[in-house]
C-alpha cells in the first residue's frame, strides 16, 4: 500500500481528522463500517487531498504502507473493541493502532496489553477540540510506546493545534492509558471551569443585578486579562446572543438542566479511587446532576431564602471586580486539583507524566485552552516536582492578593442565597490546605472512640488507642 495513514470511523471526528491529515499532504486510507460515509467523504472533500477509499477492513489494511499507522475513530466502548478485534488479525508486528475516541483509560490499558502480545503498538490518544478542532487543529494526548510515538509524531505534529509560540499541541504523555487518563482529567477540569464561569454569571446577574448583555461585556473585558480563554470568550458570545424566536437573551430561554456524557463522572470516580480530592470537578458534576432533578427542585422552589435587592450601581462594579478575583483564584485551585490527580495516577501506574508537558499540550486546540496554561507550563518547567501550583511564587502571590475579594464574593453569594458550590469549594480547599491544624484530629478521635480505629499523636511516634469504655487510659496499639 501507499497510504501513509489510515482512518477508520468516519463520523464527524474521523472525517475531519482524515481531512486534516490530507490537507497536510498525507495520503489517507479511509474506511467506515457503513460505506456511504466513506463515499460521502471522498465525494465531498476528495479535492482537499489524497484519499484512498476502502470498502472492507482487508482493503483498508492493504492500502497502508508498512509499518502501518491506523487511527480508529469510532464510538467508545463496545464499538471500539469490535473494530480492534476485526483489525488485529490483519495487522503485522510493528504496526501502530491509535484509538482517538474517548475511551476509559482502563479499557486502553487492557487493549494495549492484548495488542502488545501480537507485537502491535496500541496508542490511546485523547483528542480534544470537537469537530472544529479535529479539522483545524485539536489538542492530542497520545499514550503508548516510545516507538509508536516516534512513528506518529510527524503526523500528529502536523495536524495538532499550534500554541502561541508555534509549538504543536501534542506530546508523548506516557505509556498505555496515560493519554486517555490525561484527556479524562482535561474534561473534568473543563466541567469545573464551566461551573465556575456559570457561577460568576449567576452572581453578576442576581447580586450585581446586571443583564446578560452587560455581563457579556464584563466577560469580554475579563477575557483580555489573565482569564483569557476559549471558555470565557464563548461565554461572552453566548451572553450577547438574543434568541431569534423571542428576542429575549438566549441564556434565558435555554432549559436549566445540564447534561453530561460521563467523562466528568469518570474523573470523579477515578479520583475517589486514587484518594485525591478533586472538589472543583466533583462539585461541577454534582451541580449538573442537581440541575436535572426537576421534581426535587419543584418541591423545594418555595423554601424561604433571603430577599435582598441587587447591589447599587457603584457597589455592583466593585463586586464585579471581586468576582473576577474569586473566579481566577478558584480556577487556579481547581486546575491544581487536576494536576494533583495526574501526579497520583502517574505514580500509581508508573507513567512518568510530565506536568509541564500536559499544560503545554492544552495551550491550544482543546476546550480549556487559555493563556493561563502557558504560565502553568512555565511553573512546572521551573520545578517539575512542584507539589502544588500554589507553591509557585507567581501563583501564590496572585492568590494571596485575590483571597480577600474571593472571601467577599463567596460571603456575598451566601448572603444573597445564590449557590456557588464551585467557588466556595475552591475556597474551602485553599483554606484547608493552608491550615496548620485540621478538624481531622477530632475525626480520628471519634473513629477511635466508636471503632477502636486507633490514632497517631503529634508528640510521639507510634499508634495508640484510648480505652474509651474503660478507665480512658491510653494503650499502644502496635507500631
Ligand atoms: P460517534 O461517537 O457518533 O461514532 C460513530 C462512528 O462509530 C461511526 O463511524 C460508526 O460507524 C462507528 N461505529 C459504531 Br457507532 N459501532 C461500530 C461497530 N460496531 N463497528 C464499526 N464501527 C462502528 O462518532 P464521533 O462523534 O465522530 O466520535 C468518534 C469518537 O471520538 C468517539 O469515541 C467520541 O467519544 C470521540 N470524540 C468526540 C468528540 C466530539 O466532539 N464529537 C470530541 C473528542 C472525542 P457507522 O457509520 O457504520 O455507524
Domain boundary among 145, 176, 207: 176
Domain final residue pick, 158, 176, 194: 176
Mutating to test ligand 1, I would choose from 38, 71, 72, 75 the residue with most ligand atoms within 8 A of its C-beta, which is 75
Where residue 454 sits, what CATH number does that domain have? 1.20.5.320
Query: Are both 167 and 213 inside the same structural domain?
Result: no
pLDDT tens, 317-366? 999 999 999 999 999 999 999 999 999 999 999 999 999 999 999 999 99
Nearest CA to ligand 1 atom 2: 75
CATH number at residue 277: 1.10.1040.10
User: Are residues 128 and 162 located together in one domain of the fold?
Assistant: yes
The last residue of one of the domains, among 176, 193, 217, is 176
Rounded to the nearest angstrom, the distance between the alpha carbon of 177 and the centre of ligand 1 is 20
> Measured at the alpha carbon of residue 209, what is the angle toward residues 206 and 214, in degrees to the nearest 5?
115
Same domain (yes/no): 198, 294: yes
pLDDT band at 478 (very low <50, low <70, confident <90, very high): confident
205 and 278 inside one domain = yes
Helices (H), 34-103: 35-45, 57-62, 78-87
- 246 and 106 co-located in one domain: no
Q: Are 178 and 344 in contact (CB under 8 A)?
A: no
Is the same domain home to 399 and 462? no
Query: Does one domain contain both 128 and 270?
Result: no
Average of per-residue pLDDT across 355-381: 97
Local structure of 307: helix, strand or coil: coil
Q: Note down the domain range covering 159.
A: 5-176
Q: Examine the residue annotation and report whether 331 is marked as an active-site residue of this protein.
A: no
Active site residue: 112, 190, 283, 412, which one?
190
pLDDT over 90 percentage in the chain: 98
Tell whether 387 and 452 lie within a shared domain: no
Residues 111, 254, single domain; the answer is no
Its pTM stands at 0.97
Query: DSSP letter string over 195-237?
Result: HHHHHHHHHHHHTS---HHHHHHHHHHHTTTTT-BHHHHHHHH
Q: How many domains does the chain divide into?
A: 3
What does DSSP assign to residue 298? H
State in Å: Cα 180 to ligand 1 middle. Answer: 16
Residues with CB under 6 A from ligand 1: 9-14, 32-34, 37, 73-76, 79, 82-83, 101-102, 127, 130-131
Average pLDDT, the chain: 97
Residues 104 and 194 in one domain: no
* pLDDT digits 0-9 by tens, 131-145: 999 999 999 999 999
For residues 173-193, give the mean pLDDT: 98
Q: Which three cell numbers stand for residue 299?
A: 418541591
Measured CA to CA, the distance from residue 164 to residue 93 in angstroms comes to: 38
How far does the centroid of ligand 1 lie from the alpha carbon of residue 22, in Å? Answer: 20
| pLDDT for position 1 | 84
Q: Do 275 and 233 share a structural domain?
A: yes
Take atom 23 of ligand 1 and give the residue whose Cα is closest. Answer: 79
Domain shared by 385 and 423, yes or no = yes
**CATH code assigned at 91:** 3.40.50.720
What ipTM was reported for this prediction?
0.98
Give the whole-angstrom CA distance, residue 165 versus residue 364: 10
For residue 8, pLDDT beyond 60: yes
Tens digit of each residue's pLDDT (9 = 90 or more) over 66-111: 999 999 999 999 999 999 999 999 999 999 999 999 999 999 999 9
Tens-digit pLDDT profile for residues 423-444: 999 999 999 999 999 999 999 9
Statement: residue 479 has pLDDT above 70: no
Amino acid at each position: 500500500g501507499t497510504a501513509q495513514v489510515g482512518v477508520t470511523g468516519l463520523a464527524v471526528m474521523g472525517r475531519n481528522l482524515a481531512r486534516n491529515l490530507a490537507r497536510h499532504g498525507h495520503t489517507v486510507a479511509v474506511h467506515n463500517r457503513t460505506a456511504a460515509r466513506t463515499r460521502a467523504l471522498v465525494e465531498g472533500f476528495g479535492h482537499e487531498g489524497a484519499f484512498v477509499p476502502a470498502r472492507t477492513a482487508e482493503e483498508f489494511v492493504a492500502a497502508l504502507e508498512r509499518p502501518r499507522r491506523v487511527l480508529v475513530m469510532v464510538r467508545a466502548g463496545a464499538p471500539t473493541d469490535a473494530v480492534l478485534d476485526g483489525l488485529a488479525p490483519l495487522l503485522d508486528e510493528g504496526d501502530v493502532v491509535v484509538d482517538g475516541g474517548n475511551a476509559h483509560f482502563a479499557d486502553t490499558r487492557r487493549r494495549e496489553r492484548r495488542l502488545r502480545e501480537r507485537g502491535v503498538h496500541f496508542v490511546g490518544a485523547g483528542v480534544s477540540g470537537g469537530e472544529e478542532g479535529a479539522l483545524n487543529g485539536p489538542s492530542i494526548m497520545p499514550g503508548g510506546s516510545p516507538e509508536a510515538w516516534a512513528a506518529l509524531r510527524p503526523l500528529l505534529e502536523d495536524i495538532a493545534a499550534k500554541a502561541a509560540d508555534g509549538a504543536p499541541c501534542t506530546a508523548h504523555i506516557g505509556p498505555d492509558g496515560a493519554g486517555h487518563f490525561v484527556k479524562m482529567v482535561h474534561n473534568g477540569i473543563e466541567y469545573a471551569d464551566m461551573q465556575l464561569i456559570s457561577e460568576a454569571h449567576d452572581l453578576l446577574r442576581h447580586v450585581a443585578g446586571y443583564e446578560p448583555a452587560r455581563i457579556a461585556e464584563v466577560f469580554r473585558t475579563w477575557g483580555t486579562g489573565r482569564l483569557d480563554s476559549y471558555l470565557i470568550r464563548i461565554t461572552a458570545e453566548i451572553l450577547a446572543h438574543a434568541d431569534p424566536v423571542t428576542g429575549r437573551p438566549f441564556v434565558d430561554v435555554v432549559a436549566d438542566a445540564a447534561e453530561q456524557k460521563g467523562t466528568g463522572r469518570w474523573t470523579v470516580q477515578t479520583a475517589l479511587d486514587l484518594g485525591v480530592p478533586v472538589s472543583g470537578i466533583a462539585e461541577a458534576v454534582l451541580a449538573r446532576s442537581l440541575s436535572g432533578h426537576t421534581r426535587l427542585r419543584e418541591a423545594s422552589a418555595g423554601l424561604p431564602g433571603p430577599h435582598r435587592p441587587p447591589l447599587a450601581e457603584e457597589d455592583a462594579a466593585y463586586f464585579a471586580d471581586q468576582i473576577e478575583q474569586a473566579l481566577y483564584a478558584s480556577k487556579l485551585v481547581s486546575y491544581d486539583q487536576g494536576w494533583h490527580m495526574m501526579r497520583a495516577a502517574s505514580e500509581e501506574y508508573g507513567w512518568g507524566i510530565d506536568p509541564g508537558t500536559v499544560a503545554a499540550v492544552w495551550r491550544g486546540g482543546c476546550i480549556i485552552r487559555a493563556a493561563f496554561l502557558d504560565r502553568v507550563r512555565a511553573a512546572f518547567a521551573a520545578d517539575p516536582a512542584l507539589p502544588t501550583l500554589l507553591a509557585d511564587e507567581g501563583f501564590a502571590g496572585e492568590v494571596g492578593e485575590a483571597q480577600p475579594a474571593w472571601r467577599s464574593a463567596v460571603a456575598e453569594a451566601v448572603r444573597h442565597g445564590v449557590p456557588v458550590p464551585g467557588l466556595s469549594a475552591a475556597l474551602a480547599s485553599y483554606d484547608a490546605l493552608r491550615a496548620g491544624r485540621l478538624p481531622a484530629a477530632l475525626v480520628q478521635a471519634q473513629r477511635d472512640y466508636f471503632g477502636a480505629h486507633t490514632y497517631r499523636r503529634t508528640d510521639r511516634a507510634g499508634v495508640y488507642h484510648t480505652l474509651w469504655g474503660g478507665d480512658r487510659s491510653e494503650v499502644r496499639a502496635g507500631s
